[in-house]
Amino acid sequence: MAVFGGRRREENAAVPPGQHLTDGFPVLSAGPTPEIETADWDFLIRTESGTTHRWDWDELQALPAEDITVDIHCVTSWSKLGTSWRGVSLDTLFADVETSREFVMAHSYGGYTTNLPLEEILDGKAWIAYEYDGDALDPEHGGPARLLVPHLYLWKSAKWVRGLVLQDDDEPGFWEQNGYNMHGDPWREERYA
Amino acid sequence: MTRPGSGWYVGTLARAHALTPTARSLVFTVEGWPGNEAGQHVDVRLTAPDGYQAVRSYSIASVGASGEVELAVDLLPDGEVSPFLVEELEIGDTVEMRGPLGGWFVWKPEETRPVQLIGGGSGVVPLIAMSRAHTSSASAAPMRLLYSLRSPADAFFADELSAATATVETTRHYTRTTPPDWARRPGRLTADDLAEATLPPADGPLIYICGPNGFVEVVARAMIALGHAADHVRTERFGGI
Amino acid sequence: MGHLDGNVLAGPIGDLLSFEPTTARGQCAGCGDVAVLAQATVYVHPMGYVVRCRTCDDVLLVVVDNGGRSSLNMPGLRWLEAADPA
């Protein structure tokens, strides 16, 4: 009798509950892949006062960047350990941002949105990443740049990110409006609402 | 039979044979199967011991009211389900299936208009069902099949389609390798190929196009550009899942 | 990987509606295009089916199976009606 499924119960403590390891890097899409030239790209942070902090590609590249190695976890149950990225910490981008709001909505080229508490993207927890595994980030994986928030499920790491808007309340983004968890902590298996 | 999908059935693999080096015909006996129309599909669900489930849609090659469902599955190298179905599933094993599904990409024998079927690769499977329905209903409607495939070795149900008793006229188009004495060179289907090999717009045929996304996109546009009415064209896209 | 079309929705939505979904006709709230659901552009994301207008790409509906229960969100459909009886 043939038995389906090569998913072994993971003994690895680095793998959250309900996840399994993958060697590949699956491409998941909710829509057509945006094609953004870096010459046309910019990233912005908009606060409640209407102030917009903006960086174009060259300005982003000129900021101090970090090489980081992190584990990533997709809500569809695959996890990938030790992935290498290069990007700018959100702490760097928020250095001069004044806000009293506690939540952000990440907006992407192509219309995708996802919501996060501000404290979940500061203090070394998040980056605007533009390189993966030593190469420029592929459009299929969110290039030219994506938000990277590895301690939450990967749908919070908005591909093709174009800006963060500070919001008063934790308004739901795309998947959150469709039954997924507002927070998305893989260690608590916060998958669905 | 346009009521929605009627729940999950258990299919037991009764017979299987290789269609090509990478594709396999799977015939399941399905207890309680209500029968299906030509062009409908099933969702096949596999469950792993740890509870993980994967669901994929497959067009049904068989048609009618028997308790058997025939699928034709092509192995996708990066696939999660097709390698299991093609290489591992054994006679006597079971899968769950939901269906019969679909009301759009369906041909009914009551239909008297001429029919042009155009299939790319494994997209021929629902068209095989339509051809079988045409034969078994002794339909008087002209039905033609244009079958685009990479090489002769990739043909599904070759004997059935070329049989003397076949009621559907099949024209093959090869995209990579042709048989030794083939009059044309291999290559993508062009508008000229379509014009030559399909029923003309003046006949007002219903057109069913099935295959990979790119194939369907190109062929559908070309048929409309040739003058076929857009509402005569029905498409079903297969993906790489 | 690209997209499929609305034919794949027959199973996932079939149990939620009293009529066969893929032959149902609907209007895009964005551009006004009217088509049957089978003709929509469907992105089969493992997190859910994202169904987009074939003309303007706006999200018509999203189908999520959240661990056993299906949810159907229709942000971009102005209306949806069953096909005429055969």
pLDDT digit string (tens) for B56-92?
A: 999 999 999 889 999 999 998 878 899 999 999 999 9
Q: In the sheet that B169-174 helps form, which strands lie side by side, from edge to edge?
A: B169-174, B143-149, B115-120, B206-212, B233-238
Domain assignment of residue A193, yes or no: no
Residue A7: which pLDDT band, with cuts at 50, 70 and 90? low
Nearest to A1 among B50, B52, B90 (CB): B90
Residues 93 through 122 of chain A touching chain B, CB cutoff 8 Å: none
Q: Is B77 on the interface with C (CB under 8 A)?
A: no
The domain limits of chain B are 9-101, 115-238
Is A7–B47 a contact, with Cβ atoms under 8 angstroms apart? no
**What does the block give as tokens for A192?**
């669905």
Higher model confidence: residue A22 or residue B146?
B146
Residue B168 pLDDT more than 60? yes
Q: Give the residue with greater pLDDT, A9 vs B98.
A: B98
Distance CA B91, CA B141 (A): 38
**pLDDT averaged over every residue in chain B:** 93
| pLDDT at residue B240 greater than cutoff 60 | no
B24 CA to centre of own chain? 13
pLDDT at A44 over 70: yes
CATH 3.40.50.920 fits B115-238, yes or no: no
Residue-level pLDDT at B7: 78
Q: What is the CATH number of the domain that holds A70?
A: 3.90.420.10
- Those residues whose C-beta lies under 8 Å from the C-beta of residue A65, and which sit 6 or more positions away, are A86, A87, A88
What are the tens digits of pLDDT across the range C58-67? 999 999 987 7
Q: What is the DSSP string of A146-190?
A: EEE-TTS-GGGS-TTEEEEEEESS----HHHHTTB-SS--GGGT-
**pLDDT at position B3:** 38
Is B84 an 8 Å CB contact of chain A? Answer: yes
Confidence at residue A10, expressed as pLDDT on a 0 to 100 scale: 62
Q: Is the pLDDT of residue B5 over 50?
A: no
Interface size between B and C, measured as CB pairs under 8 A:
76
Measured distance CA(B35)–CA(B44) in Å, rounded: 16
Q: Would you tell me which residues 24-83 of chain A have a C-beta closer than 8 angstroms to some C-beta of chain B? A: 77
Question: Cα–Cα distance between B117 and B132 in angstroms, integer?
Answer: 13
Distance from CA of A178 to the nearest CA of C (A): 7
Q: What is the pLDDT of residue A8?
A: 55
Compute chain A's Rg from CA coordinates. Answer: 17
Say how many domains are in chain A: 1
Residue A103: domain span: 20-24+37-188
Instruction: Tell me which architecture the domain covering B9-101 has in CATH.
Output: Beta Barrel (2.40)
Q: Is the pLDDT of residue C74 over 50?
A: yes
CA–CA min distance C23, chain A (Å):
23
Q: What is the share, in percent, of chain C residues with pLDDT greater than 90?
A: 71
Report DSSP state, residue B50.
T
Residue C69 has pLDDT above 70, yes or no: yes
Chain A nearest CA to C84, separation (Å): 30
Taking the C-alpha atoms of residue B120 and residue B220, their distance in angstroms, rounded to an integer, is 12
Chain C adjacent subunits, 3+ CB pairs under 8 A? A, B
pLDDT(B143) > 50: yes
**What is the per-residue pLDDT for B241?**
31
Question: Residue C85's pLDDT is what?
Answer: 75
Chain C residues in contact with B103 (beta carbon < 8 A): 10, 20, 22-23, 83
| Cβ pair A4:B46 closer than 8 A | yes
| Cα separation, A25 vs A85, whole angstroms | 14
How far off is chain C from A1, nearest CA to CA, in Å? 27
Interface contact C67-A191, CB threshold 8 A: yes
Chain A contact set for C67 (CB, 8 A): 191-192
Residue A111 with chain C: CB contacts under 8 Å: 59
Question: Can you tell me whether residue C27 is helix, strand or coil?
Answer: strand
Break chain C into its structural domains and give their ranges. 4-81
Phi, psi of C4 (to 5 degrees): -110, -160
Percent of chain B with pLDDT over 70: 97
In this prediction the ipTM stands at 0.91
- Say if the Cβ atoms of B48 and A7 lie within 8 Å: yes
| Nearest of B137, B141, B140, B143 to residue B116 by alpha carbon | B143
What average pLDDT does this structure show over A39-57? 97
| Residue C55, pLDDT score | 96
Contacts 24+ apart (CB under 8 A), A56-64: A57/A144, A60/A88, A60/A128, A60/A130, A60/A145, A61/A130, A63/A88, A63/A92, A63/A93, A64/A88, A64/A92
Poorest-pLDDT segment among A22-31, A116-125, B45-54, B63-72: A22-31
